[in-house]
A and B are shown apart, each in its own frame.
Chain A
């Protein structure tokens, strides 16, 4: 949510029960203004709050003129002093993926992870347990990046692509109409498009290049990972991610008020929870083996694991029977 319209945004996003206390709000309004000045950001977004066991992280993001340019992420523990986080890298994601559980609320906290590493000594190969230290700050960077890539949302038309390439805020955006607001296809991922280039020419034919330059939520995997709700009797549309519970996107149709906030414990809901939604692609006894249509490797793995288990059991049961 835009730092400038923080109060209204919080009010609109309050349906999920996560707000900010008045003192936090006041300090955010003050400090984000200074952040904007000091770092010379074009726009500052209040990204949300990550609930730690001891303390909470408050996250803000700075945007440059080009809205899709890599965002700068800042965090703070007291809403006044902000520290810049390094940009996320693939390596970080790999490194931190082994860490599970809650955040502590202390950026210098180090998670310990033991992993087996092969050590070559002459011709023999030994497996040694190596303790890897992972700083919470690194994990924070990578988690924020993951959430941003997975569930940051922007309504269609709020941004537009200028003929020269950079993406600007659309000043003439007047909000989605009610019928549009109820469709997932009117919402885009607020990140560099990934799926767009995989579309066929036929699908691309109807797209308006100045507006439809991002991936829409419509084809997100797993299907049904968004809860779309009309609140206050259609006066407010709220999208909640089921994949990352805690992410709330709000938009008041026919106004330009929109934004998203994440308040949560950073707990990726396992895809198995969404299994009923993708259950058609799961093997069950008596059915022909179905081909999975899943693209996401993690999901595919889950589904396959499930299938293997089921099959093993079935084969075991039948084998003893005959």
Chain B
């Protein structure tokens, strides 16, 4: 509608047909149609419908409806013929009634039907409506436009020109456009009388068709015309019937256009993006289907498992932790439960527990804490140790070779005087930090990976660094001071530290075994084993919340050395003594290491050290509204993410977090050590400046003088020497 001139423009303007001619030319090129020779007689309506029909299939059904619109236009035209002002008024009044007729007629059509045929029909219906709307609009606009011309004559003149234009340019009608360049075309003038005889086309119809032609034109870089777009848009709106469509018109606009240029992909084409999702679902499906045994055997298994299984009741734990406001969602808990069950089936597991989840940068770790059945672990252990030992042997061999090579080199490379501190032996499996084995996986359903045993050095170094885990076990740990091992070792060290600090139980749940009650261990860390107290009655929840003395640690404290039981690092094993006896003689007896002592096992939490005036534990009731049914929840302030609950005889610990210890101050990595001196600097190795010529000459003169002074006495010898030098 934008190209309709404002009413103030001169009435004598000539219709310009540049744009519409473009359109129709393009159309005719695309669809070669024999135009009838008597073009002038061709009715506007069929032609238009032809164009549309060829252009857009869905409009095919429109031709039949066109008659009606024409009739409407005709009646309107007749009305408007009376008077301009009247038309302006009548148009506004009369049209709505006509419009109202249409919806009532088409109302029975189910718009919401998504079927193709229906869509076509809808589209054509909408076109109809659009046309009606356009007609209405045009009528009003046109009437407004014609008002300045005082009477029918002006109007008639215009029609003449319109006819003329139609005849000569073979275009469909007047394009009411203000273009002075086309104002005085000779052809127009020449054919004027001839065109006078033509039947008058209806101006409103023509205006409508012009506007439509305008809307139908497409640009060079876009195949979609505004007309088609609007059709699509309205189809979409009418099919979906969104609420308040005006507010989302912009985005609808965009999506419709996007959809037009991105047709829905064929279903045969797979979407690689979704591949991992399906793979994961497939893998988890394996968890849900009982592992591939025959029917009969499966039933037997069922009976066995019902009787006793090391698989923990993760769901119950998850339920209690949910009361406490922590923990994973229930479906994830169930998946973890199934994954643990799978682990128990694959490994000779004696006890099993869901330890927690450690978040990583790219994926997280689910950690299972297991204890193997007696004797099972040792075999595997030995294999692993053999592997490492052979590796070490290889390394040693390599070093020796290196030394041999070095001997060939004349310069002897000085050996560093620094000696590594004596290695502290790893704790035996089933004791101390290596009491349990840990298995990790990233998502339930993925294979469980066993973490290696932790060494004291790793724990000591892990205390000095703070690092985000990445989620890949083989990732290197780049840090200062350098961490011995990769992420699997670091993860294991963190697990050991967290376990030692945060695994707690209500007082009295565990007790020391009677047989070794009084015995003091050699290491001095006190008794390292405990058993479940069969007479444990449970501590009342309120008491658990009120006093931290009712909670005890049931994991051994890790000494600064990195072990739970202290070992004298200077104490030599027999082999070492044999090897290094001579060297060590001097050192022996010089250093005496003080024995490190930590708090004994089953120490109450109330004796834990404060963190910068902050209590290390916070205890709460899970629900303040019903204290009689709630549980006691304790969370660690030292290791954010570590929680424990206790109710009745039940308790459990869990850790879900980043694996970072809380530090009130910002963490600072230790600075690198001071740079060592390369060598003592003394005059021997100082660089001398070269003597100048003058200095050389002065020296020479001095030497000659000295020679002359002494030479007289030993003249003979001197002469001989001089001769030699000359040679």
Contacts and interface: CB of A to CB of B under 8 A. Distances in A.
Interface of A: 11, 14-24, 51, 53-55, 78, 100-102, 160, 170-172, 177-179, 210, 227, 229-235, 240, 242, 245, 264-265, 267, 269-270, 272-273, 275-276, 285, 309-310, 313-314, 316-318, 320-322
B614 A53 contact: yes
B640 A264 contact: yes
A265 B640 contact: yes
Contacts of A18: 325-326, 656
Interface string B346-361: 0000000000110111
B323 A22 contact: yes
Given A16-B656, A265-B640, A272-B668, A53 B252 contact: no
A315 B615 CA distance: 43
Interface in B635-675: 635, 637, 640-641, 654, 656-658, 660, 662, 664-669, 671-672, 674-675
B515 to A, nearest CB: 40
A229 B664 contact: no
Given A313-B674, A317-B675, A16 B478 contact: no
Contacts of A245: 658, 660
Nearest to B658: A245
Nearest to A100: B664
Contacts of B328: 14-15, 17
A284 to B, nearest CB: 9
B304 interface: no
A269 to B, nearest CB: 8
A31 B671 CA distance: 52
A89 B664 CA distance: 25
Given A53-B618, A267-B662, A272-B666, A17 B675 contact: no
B517 to A, nearest CB: 37
Contact of B322 (A22, A178, A314, A322): A22
B329 A14 contact: yes
Interface in B359-412: 359-364
A170 B363 CA distance: 31
Contacts of A275: 669
Contacts of B626: 23
Contacts of B281: 233
Interface stretch (B27-35, B225-233, B270-278, B456-464): B270-278
A101 B610 CA distance: 13
Contacts of B91: none
A321 B360 CA distance: 44
Contacts of B443: 231-233
Contact of B622 (A21, A78, A102, A232): A21
Contacts of A242: 361, 468
Nearest to A270: B666
Contacts of A321: 675, 677-678, 681
B675 A229 contact: no
A17 B327 contact: yes
Nearest to B250: A210
A43 B364 CA distance: 33
Looking at chain B's contact residues, the main secondary structure is loop
B671 A313 contact: yes
B244 to A, nearest CB: 8
A233 B22 CA distance: 55
A226 B596 CA distance: 41
B172 to A, nearest CB: 36
A175 to B, nearest CB: 13
A107 B641 CA distance: 24
B727 interface: no
Contacts of A23: 623, 625-626
A264 B640 CA distance: 8
28 contacts: A14-B328, A14-B332, A18-B326, A21-B622, A53-B637, A101-B612, A170-B251, A171-B247, A172-B252, A177-B273, A179-B273, A229-B362, A229-B364, A229-B471, A231-B443, A232-B277, A232-B280, A233-B276, A233-B443, A234-B273, A234-B277, A242-B468, A272-B667, A273-B667, A313-B671, A314-B675, A317-B675, A321-B677
Contact of A19 (B279, B326, B640): B326
Contact of A171 (B248, B276, B332): B248
B212 interface: no
Given A16-B656, A21-B322, A178-B274, A101 B466 contact: no
A101 B280 contact: no
A265 B611 CA distance: 14
Contacts of B625: 23
Contacts of B466: 273
Contacts of A231: 443
Contacts of B678: 321
Given A100-B664, A234-B277, A272-B666, A54 B675 contact: no
Nearest to B323: A21
Interface in B425-460: 443
Contact of A230 (B276, B479, B662): B276
Interface in B227-284: 242, 247-248, 250-252, 255, 273-274, 276-281, 284
A23 B633 CA distance: 15
B324 interface: yes
A227 B658 CA distance: 12
Contacts of B323: 21-22
B251 A234 contact: no
A160 B248 CA distance: 10
